[in-house]
Amino acid sequence: SSLENGRPLDPADWAVTDVVNYFRTAGFEEQASAFQEQEIDGKSLLLMTRNDVLTGLSLKLGPALKIYEYHVKPLQTQHLKNNS
């Protein structure tokens, strides 16, 4: 499968380290480790609800909202589009 920044293009194929590196690259250095701790891989990321992101990762609310709205939700939307 094709790679972008060393990550598979489809988030469903991401390993935990891909997810962590994605958020590091996006500027969430501190929060990225929470995805590592919770063992969130690409498939898990695509299943996460807003509530999971806001409460399940023990993140500060501000960064958690941005992570969900600007990253998790768009990745989910894009994934659904590509696989419909």
Per-residue pLDDT of the chain (84 residues; tens, 9 = 90+): 568 778 898 999 999 999 999 999 999 999 999 999 999 999 999 999 999 999 999 999 999 999 999 999 999 999 999 988
- The helix (run of H) or strand (run of E) holding residue 8 is strand 7-8
Question: If we measure between CA atoms, which residue out of 60, 83, 70, 55 comes closest to residue 23?
Answer: 70
pLDDT of residue 3: 81
This prediction's pTM: 0.92
pLDDT of residue 4: 78
Q: Which CATH class is domain 12-81?
A: mainly alpha
Residue 38, C-beta contacts closer than 8 angstroms, at least 6 positions apart: 56, 57
Rounded CA gap, 57 and 79, in Å?
22
Side chain identity, residue 37: E
pLDDT of residue 25: 96
Rounded CA gap, 49 and 29, in Å?
21
